[in-house]
Structure 1
Amino acid sequence: MQLGNLERSIMEALWEHPEGMFAHVLAPQLPSEPAITTVLTVLMRLSKKGMVARERVGRAHLYKATADRDAFVAEAMQAALNEAGDLQAAVQRFVGGVTPEVAAALREALGEQDGSTQ
């Protein structure tokens, strides 16, 4: 699932605050400090996408991320690969630029995948 810049910024803030955030606290922390009404609109959009839940607390709503950050990143990586014109070239360029830590994680994940299919 692809997110716009403001959606992504909101999700990043919510992932950093698993206890949840109120829109009036969230808005000033976002780039360009969007209007509270804009933040509320985006939060509702994210709620419809199943990425955010809200809970009534007094007269306001507390918003929490329901989408897992790691799952979101994995889905974004898959979507990027699906858009590649030449998959082999895209993967080679990606692998050529990864850090040793990412290379090790890829090797481990591929090893686990190979082991589970045997």
Structure 2
Amino acid sequence: MVQERLSGDTAYTTVLTILTRLRDMGLVTRRKEGRGHLHARVHDQPGLAAAGMHALLDEGGDRGAVPARFVSDLSAEDERMLERMLHGDDPGRT
């Protein structure tokens, strides 16, 4: 249990809040197990990169500026791949 591995007297609700926020950021996964949930950290590089991008977008400011800047720096090949993914034509899309 996560709470048992933490030092101090961290409240159950605090642990649950933090895990929920980490899940919302894409840094942990959650699945039902018995009466509770099993949380696990995300290990894959694409998942961690996506979580970082979401965190940057959520920091505020102009949400269109970050993706616009990202896209403007893509190679022509990456731009075509992104366009295929946005249209649902990329078989590697999950």
Into which bin does the TM-score normalised by the smaller protein fall?
Answer: 0.3 to 0.5
More relative contact order in 1 or in 2 (CA 8 Å, sep 6+)?
1
